[in-house]
Structure 1
Amino acid sequence: MADSTVRQRKAAPADEPEKEQTPEKEETSEREETPEREETPAKKTKKIITNIDDEELDPYNPYVDILRVLTFLLLASCGLSYVISGGDSWWWGLKQKPTYMTEPPIYLTLDELATYDGTDTEKPLYIGLNGTIFDVSNGRRIYGPGGSYHGFAGCDAARAFVTGCFGEDRTADLRGIELMYMPLDDPETDAHWSEKELAIMRVHELEAAKQKAHNALLHWVKFFSNSQKYKKVGYITREKDWLEKEPIKELCPPALNGRKKRSVPAV
């Protein structure tokens, strides 16, 4: 016969109260039951970065700096070559090297300069311009014997460059050339102004004429100085008081004939 008696759980002794689970144990049990949370991408990235070696974080590369320096020097060299050659070459292939890169300047008297007028084909062909000597050997056809500008060869004909009188003005004496830009006095025309007005006008006209004469000479100085065909080679030596010993020249006919009367003011 089956045991019909129900086995009952023994009651805990009175002196041993039933143990209650403390909050600490409950929290522990919850942690054991709760699955571990996945880390966010930001935390993962932080962990990865902190694990990289210091050498891998250093971006410095000495070869990059060397390449930058070499590139800068190359560009600077090309720019300097272009400036010095006057736009002739980026790579120092100068067709006509500046005088300071070839030889020191020469110093000649007028008598010495005269021997470089092109008659001696073994010598270079020189012209003088306001005290400066230019080598125009590349233009021997026009500056040499028989050429249209042979009057400029072997001398300082600065005056002729302004007046256009190649034969009469083969000199560097520029005194009085401003008169070619001054208007002619004409009694009929000048009657439109008073004497006081004319005196003031003449002062302004003289200043304007001197500026025109200066600009006319400066034009040729710049032409030869900046030319790729001709080159500056030296200077003319003179006595300090050479100009005072020279008589003042009169304007040559072509320069004198170019003067005009004053313009009559509009009524």
Structure 2
Amino acid sequence: MSSARYRPNASRPSDSPSDSPSSTTKNVATTTEEDDRRNKFTILDALRVLAGVLILSCGTSYLATSGSSLTWGYNPWWTRAREWKGLLRGTVHLTDAQLATYDGTDPSLPIYLALNGTIYDVSSSPGTYGPGGSYHFFAGRDAARAFLTGCFAEDQTPDLRGVELMYMPIDPEPGHPDYKEPGERRELSKGERKNRHARELREARRRVREGLEHWHTLFRGDKGKPYRRVGEVVREEGWLEKLEKRELCEEARKARPVRKDL
């Protein structure tokens, strides 16, 4: 009887490491990790996208504004290199007497002007604020009152007391189109007159603040002018009370609005 021959079982699973369950699990885990890395959006990726958008916006703004602005006309102080240079140089503090030396007559000094206690450097416009310039009378002083009243010769002072009167309405005089004879208009009671005065005074003071802010905006450089804030005027306590109180100049009196709601 012939001996039986050994035949390997064809259905026996392979013992190859690559086909083992543990190896398959590892392969699936590795593939999942690679997919996660490819799909993960990191903070660095976000910064790259933002930087690209910013550069594109600046380039488009430069082309759209014919090279005048990289920020679509938006010109806050932190976008201006001269402001950062000014911060490094520090803030100046000058008395009114010291400020007077910065009127452009000394070419070794910058040209300063002040507005309601804030000092601005306007050296970039010597033809305007320097000697012989059309607004040289503003240089080296705080003429906040004149900026509002328009009386440049008389109101070269920081004293703003009473300047709000230029915005308070007056009754129309005979001959004015809005004038009414006493019998044609309703007389207000004492309380109504008091309330009207308070309302008009609030509105006048608001317009004073807005008028000053208009000029602050210009001298801060927010409107594109190469000016900048450099410091503050130093004044002793009670300085305002020592000045003689002013009346409204003629030009400001003539500009007062006429009351219509009589």
Q: How high is the TM-score relative to the length of structure 1? A: 0.67
Size of the alignment, in residue pairs?
A: 216
Structure 2 matches for 1:152-231, cutoff 5 A? Answer: 152-186=138-172, 189=179, 191=182, 192-196=185-189, 197-225=192-220, 226-228=222-224, 229-231=226-228
Give the 3 Å change call, closer, same or farther, for CA 186–227 of structure 1 in structure 2: closer
Aligned-residue sequence identity (percent) comes to: 39
Secondary structure of the residue aligned to 1:155 is coil
| Structure 1 position 55, deviation (Å) | 3.7
> Does the 8 Å CA contact 1:127/1:135 hold for their aligned counterparts?
yes
Give the 3 Å change call, closer, same or farther, for CA 145–220 of structure 1 in structure 2: same
> Does the 8 Å CA contact 1:99/1:233 hold for their aligned counterparts?
no
> Does the 8 Å CA contact 2:86/2:230 hold for their aligned counterparts?
no
**How far, CA to CA, are the matches of 2:154 and 2:108 in structure 1?**
28
Secondary structure of the residue aligned to 2:166 is helix
**How far, CA to CA, are the matches of 1:208 and 1:173 in structure 2?**
20
**How far, CA to CA, are the matches of 1:227 and 1:99 in structure 2?**
19
The counterpart of 1:236, out of the listed 233, 237, 257, is: 233
| Structure 1 position 185, deviation (Å) | 3.5
Give the 3 Å change call, closer, same or farther, for CA 152–93 of structure 1 in structure 2: closer
Secondary structure of the residue aligned to 1:120 is coil
| Structure 1 position 220, deviation (Å) | 1.0
Worse-superposed segment, 62-71 or 121-130: 62-71
> Does the 8 Å CA contact 1:99/1:105 hold for their aligned counterparts?
no
Worse-superposed segment, 250-259 or 97-106: 97-106
Query: Whose relative contact order is higher, 1 or 2, with alpha carbons under 8 Å and at least 6 apart?
Result: 2
Give the 3 Å change call, closer, same or farther, for CA 70–96 of structure 1 in structure 2: farther
- 2:112 aligned with 1:126: yes
**How far, CA to CA, are the matches of 2:53 and 2:93 in structure 1?**
33
**How far, CA to CA, are the matches of 2:258 and 2:241 in structure 1?**
32
Amino acid at match of 2:44: V
Give the structure 1 partner of residue 62 of structure 2.
none
The C-alpha deviation readout for 1:213-255, integer Å capped at 9, x for no partner, is: 1211111112222254101111100011101111111111111
- 2:109 aligned with 1:116: no
**How far, CA to CA, are the matches of 2:228 and 2:133 in structure 1?**
19
Give the 3 Å change call, closer, same or farther, for CA 262–167 of structure 1 in structure 2: same
Worse-superposed segment, 63-72 or 172-181: 63-72
Unpaired runs of 5+ residues, structure 1, are 1-35, 37-45
> Does the 8 Å CA contact 1:108/1:237 hold for their aligned counterparts?
yes
**How far, CA to CA, are the matches of 1:160 and 1:224 in structure 2?**
15
The C-alpha deviation readout for 1:47-98, integer Å capped at 9, x for no partner, is: 995473644442278899898527627947996xx8xx99389xx9955243
Give the structure 1 partner of residue 255 of structure 2.
258
Secondary structure of the residue aligned to 1:259 is coil
**How far, CA to CA, are the matches of 1:66 and 1:264 in structure 2?**
65
The counterpart of 1:59, out of the listed 22, 31, 34, is: 34
Secondary structure of the residue aligned to 1:98 is helix
Instruction: Provide the aligned C-alpha RMSD in A.
Output: 3.9
Amino acid at match of 1:105: T
The C-alpha deviation readout for 1:11-63, integer Å capped at 9, x for no partner, is: xxxxxxxxxxxxxxxxxxxxxxxxx9xxxxxxxxx999547364444227889
**How far, CA to CA, are the matches of 1:259 and 1:51 in structure 2?**
87
**How far, CA to CA, are the matches of 2:39 and 2:82 in structure 1?**
38
Q: Which structure is larger by alpha-carbon Rg, 1 or 2?
A: 1
**How far, CA to CA, are the matches of 1:93 and 1:62 in structure 2?**
37
Q: How high is the TM-score relative to the length of structure 2? A: 0.68
